[in-house]
Amino acid sequence: MHRMEVIGCAVLLAGAGSCVQTTQPAGLAGAEHRLFWNLGDATADLPVPVEGAAWSNGEVDPVLVPLLAEAWTAGERPAMPFYGRDHAMWLRALRVTPLSDAADNLRLEAKALAPYPIRLSLLIEENGALVPLDCSNSEMWSLGKHFARVEFRHPAGAGSVVVVRVDSAHQATESRVRLLRAP
């Protein structure tokens, strides 16, 4: 064998050995988790005026997938099935609406869209600990479209941190949103 052939074989064997772990299901899920879930401990600030406010980690393009965009906005299964070219979507959103019955009562609504079954949890951070408020398993809208929504009324005040957590078979992610009084 020539020297370059030996070096090439060594590189291929070393690469193949290192790929063994990442091609296992948990390894693939972990790699996807790091690459696509926008991980980090950053907390998004959300000023909440009297009319309410919303946070989302992404949007559904109403031009490319109008039926899905309409269903996502309404939070309801579409009347017709999805047709055409679909792509996987990982969306998490939180809507905060002040209630008129008490000064600090808020209606918290979280929703999520994923390409496979998920569990959506709504939590709030109190005294450094996460307190679960509500959770829901997703329903299948179509192949590759699983939707979940939870709603909870809570006396959250300014500075409260709401956590939207999505759990799937091999991964979990949290979006942290700090509620602020709007000026």
| Tens digit of each residue's pLDDT (9 = 90 or more) over 133-143 | 999 999 998 88
| pLDDT tens per residue across span 76-105 | 988 887 766 666 788 999 999 888 765 568
Measured CA distances, 85 to 64, 69, 78 (Å): 9, 14, 17
Angle between helices 3-22 and 25-36 (to 10 degrees): 90
For the chain, the domain total comes to 2
pLDDT of residue 82: 75
Task: Grade residue 121 by pLDDT with cuts at 50, 70 and 90.
Answer: very high
108 found inside a domain: yes
| pLDDT tens per residue across span 28-71 | 666 655 555 545 557 888 888 888 899 999 998 888 888 889 99
Q: In what order do the strands lie in the sheet with 119-126?
A: 43-48, 172-181, 161-167, 119-126, 129-137
| Mean pLDDT confidence for 133-160 | 88
Closest to 134 (Cα-Cα) out of 117, 121, 147, 124: 121
pLDDT of residue 104: 63
Closest to 41 (Cα-Cα) out of 161, 126, 180: 161
Predicted TM-score of the model (pTM): 0.74
In a shared domain, residues 80 and 17: no
Residue 102 CB coordination number (10 Å): 10
In a shared domain, residues 130 and 159: yes
In a shared domain, residues 20 and 77: no
The rounded distance, in Å, linking the Cα atoms of 59 and 91 is: 7
Q: What is the mean pLDDT of the chain?
A: 79
In a shared domain, residues 10 and 92: no
Closest to 166 (Cα-Cα) out of 111, 107, 95: 111
Residues 6 or more apart whose CB falls under 8 angstroms from that of 140 comprise: 117, 146
In a shared domain, residues 71 and 155: yes
- Contact, 60 vs 91, CB < 8 A? yes
pLDDT of residue 123: 93
31 found inside a domain: no
pLDDT of residue 22: 47
Per-residue pLDDT at 168 exceeds 50 = yes
106 found inside a domain: yes
Percentage of the chain beyond pLDDT 90 is 32
The rounded distance, in Å, linking the Cα atoms of 164 and 14 is: 40
Per-residue pLDDT at 10 exceeds 60 = no
Task: Grade residue 18 by pLDDT with cuts at 50, 70 and 90.
Answer: very low
Domain of 12?
Answer: 1-26
CATH number at residue 94: 2.60.40.10
| Mean pLDDT confidence for 104-111 | 88
pLDDT of residue 117: 93
